[in-house]
Structure formats: structure tokens, C-alpha cells
Amino acid sequence: MAFKPLNTTEEKAIISAIQKAETQTSGEIRVHVEKICKSVNPLDRAVEVFFHLGMDKTLNRTGILIYVSIQDRKLAIIGDKGINEKLNPDFWESVKNSMAYFFKKGELANGILEGIRLTESQLGKFFPWKENDSDELSNEISIG
């Protein structure tokens, strides 16, 4: 069954979760939601969206994209080079599994919020927020 699209309250909760996360880490998190995944493997589509949104343009390559399609319920989460050099490669897989737990119950927003929360707690260690940090990528949800 397809996810219900995010309502305004859920969107606001997600945006403020991103804002909060970005006070803890220099990682730049974005969420992209679209109806149907245009590729067989959502990872391929996530990479495409990542570049399309210019997420590779951050100073220390710390962009993170959470990708979800709501009709066919596909999910991917990827990080840019700077992050993947430091994190255990299993990390994204474990975040994805935690998100999937909520998605199985049809809870799209809660799954996304969980992904943001886990990313924040892990990235805070390796990529702490620094004083001259700027908001390099918009915190708004990108709707495809």
C-alpha cells in the first residue's frame, strides 16, 4: 500500500528535525520525496537526485540525502564522500533498517524522523557543528 503524502504538520516536524540536527553536526541533511522511483534500485535514483540538488557542493562533502518514493515505497539514504570516508560502511544500512521498521507500519514521517535522529547522533561524533558553520543546503523537503 502506498504511503500517504506528508501533511503540513509532518513536513514541519521534519524540517525542524533537520534544523536541530544541523546544530549538532556539520552534516547537511536533505529529504527528497517523490511518487514513484524512476529506477529499479532506489540507490541509483538517490544518487541522481543528490547531484540534481547540487548536494555534492558542500565544502567538506558532508551532504546526506534521505530518499523516499511514496507509491512504490522505496527508500535509500546516502552520504557524500567526506562522510563515507569516516563512517562504517554498514552505518547507512542500519539507519535504513531502523527507518524501515516505521515504514512497515505505514508511518512515513516517523521513519524519516528516525533516520534524521540516527544521522544526527552518529554524525555529531565525527562531524561536530563548528562555530562558522553555515546552512549549506536548504532544509526544506524536496518534492519530486
Cα separation of 92 and 112, whole Å? 13
Among positive and negative, which fits the CA dihedral 125, 107, 7, 55? positive
Task: Give the list of residues 6+ apart from residue 97 with CB closer than 8 angstroms, or none.
Answer: none
Question: Is position 61 an interface residue for Ca ion (rule: CB under 5 A)?
Answer: no
Pick between residue 34 and residue 133 the one whose CB is nearest to Ca ion: 133
Helix (H, G, I), strand (E, B) or coil at 25: strand
- Site pattern 110..139 for Ca ion (x: CB under 5 A): -----------------------x-x-x-x
Min separation Cβ 64 and Ca ion, Å: 10
Min separation Cβ 37 and Ca ion, Å: 24
Cβ-contact 106, 10 below 8 angstroms: no
Cα separation of 83 and 97, whole Å? 19
Min separation Cβ 32 and Ca ion, Å: 13
Cα separation of 70 and 67, whole Å? 10
Pick between residue 57 and residue 104 the one whose CB is nearest to Ca ion: 57
- Site pattern 6..35 for Ca ion (x: CB under 5 A): ----------------x-----x-------
Pick between residue 58 and residue 103 the one whose CB is nearest to Ca ion: 58
